[in-house]
Copies of this chain bind each other. A is one copy, B any other.
Amino acid sequence: MCRWLAYIGEPIRPSTLVLDPQHSIVAMSLDARLGAETVNGDGFGLGWYADTAGTAPFVFRSVEPAWNDVNLREISHALRSPLFFAHVRAAAGPPIQQTNCHPFRHGTWLFMHNGALAGFPAYKRDLILEVDPALYPGIEGTTDTEVLFHLALTYGLAADPILAVGRAIRRVEAAGRAVGVPSPMQGTIAVSDGRTLWAFRYSSDGRSRTLFHSADIPTLRRMYPGAAQLSAFGDHAQVVVSEPLNDLPGAFVEVEESTVAVLDGSGYRHQPFLAA
């Protein structure tokens, strides 16, 4: 229902990925090629860390379509960040308001999602009751994603992110199936604590939204010596994104179904996630 992008690597201006590429995330807001919807015009968000030392991130969110937001252009050019999230929204029901725009933040954590919890209104109350009462007042909007995030926080996101997100999804599946929804979970998720980036691709029915990660930059430089679009990136730059940002063969590699990718200074790793 949305498109998102997450970057980790040498500090860059977010505009390098948010605005400049052939199929940038802002271009996807107007015309996504691989999405369930072609238009993602129901608001956007940019979340960024100033460093990777564990400080809290900043968030800029707006209900305007990303393609015509002049402030997004200014801010994504003005900043430099080693780790940032960008999201364009196609609302599936909850109102168009800043508090429903991704990414969501809690302490040093960012969380964003492309997809939906099918039949959510029918079991929202069940999930809300499961959220740690101490965390409950922190829910500011009305999306399924923010509830999923708070479930993961409840289940120990800080201690073991993969376990906590997995448990949150299993809880969603149980709640949905209890009210007759066969495939409650759909989507791709990005999570970060400001040091590491986790990207999940999982759906109850095994047919998730698309997700890609960028190939290793040094390898790409050897494949495409002199390619202008590579010059902006350092050797450790890595992107996870709903759709390839350009048409360069080999530049983007699909993240498989039922997989979690882990990205930090040491490179890209992945492992099965909630596989049957």
Q: Chain A residues in contact with chain B, CB under 8 A?
A: 30-31, 38-39, 41-42, 48, 50, 58-65, 67-68, 70-71, 74-75, 77-79, 91, 95-99, 121-122, 124-125, 128-129, 133, 136-137, 139-142
Chain B residues, CB < 8 A from A99: 95, 97, 142
CB distance from A174 to the nearest CB of B (A): 17
* In contact, A63 and B60 (Cβ under 8 angstroms): no
Q: How far is the CA of A64 from the CA of B102 in the complex (A)?
A: 18
A39-B30, A99-B95 are known contacts. Are A136 and B142 too (CB-CB below 8 A)?
A: no
Q: Note all chain B residues with C-beta closer than 8 A to A62.
A: 71
List 20 A-B pairs, Cβ < 8 Å.
A38-B38, A39-B39, A41-B65, A41-B67, A42-B65, A50-B78, A58-B74, A58-B75, A58-B77, A63-B64, A64-B64, A64-B96, A68-B91, A95-B97, A95-B99, A95-B140, A99-B142, A125-B133, A129-B129, A141-B142
A125 touches B136 (CB 8 A): yes
Chain B residues closer than 8 Å to A139, beta-carbon distance: 142
Cross-chain contact A71 with B78 (CB below 8 angstroms): no
Closest chain-B Cβ to A24's Cβ sits at a distance in Å of 16
Task: List the B side residues contacting A125 at CB < 8 Å.
Answer: 133, 136-137
From B59, B97, B128, contact of A98 by CB (8 A): B97
Q: How far is the CB of A202 from chain B (nearest CB, A)?
A: 25
Q: Which residue of B lies closest to A68 (CB)?
A: B96
